[in-house]
Amino acid sequence: MTNDPVILINAFEVPAGQDEQFLMSWERSRDFLRAQPGYLSTRLHRSLAPSADFRYVNVARWESAEAFRAATAQPEFRDQTPSFRFHAALYEVVREDT
């Protein structure tokens, strides 16, 4: 599966009342990342309930793990202080039923 895209899933902890601040920060990162080689697409999810453990979850597709790591290793991205706690990792699909 080496040539399949990889999937970045990033679960964000966003306290109540900070949605607007989160979205501004997320959009800034998205604008940077989508201009990088290997970026394919992204989809940002917001929980229906404000009290979910992860108020926002981003699911993005990249051409490869290497492309994602090269993009996020760039100083403009790497040296930003994250505004919210997050849990990010790269994934592959192991079960699918669509």
List interacting residues with a second copy (CB under 8 A). Answer: 6-7, 9, 11, 23, 26-27, 30, 34, 41-49, 52-54, 56-57, 59, 65, 87, 89-98
- Return the structure tokens found at 51: 């009290």
Nearer to a second copy by Cβ, of 40 and 80: the residue is: 40
Distance of closest approach, residue 49 Cβ to a second copy, in angstroms: 6
Distance of closest approach, residue 86 Cβ to a second copy, in angstroms: 10
Question: Residue 7 in contact with residue 92, Cβ under 8 Å?
Answer: yes
Query: What are the two backbone dihedrals, phi and then psi, of residue 13, each rounded to the nearest 5 degrees?
Result: -95, 110
98: which residues sit within 8 A by CB, 6+ positions away?
none
Distance of closest approach, residue 23 Cβ to a second copy, in angstroms: 8
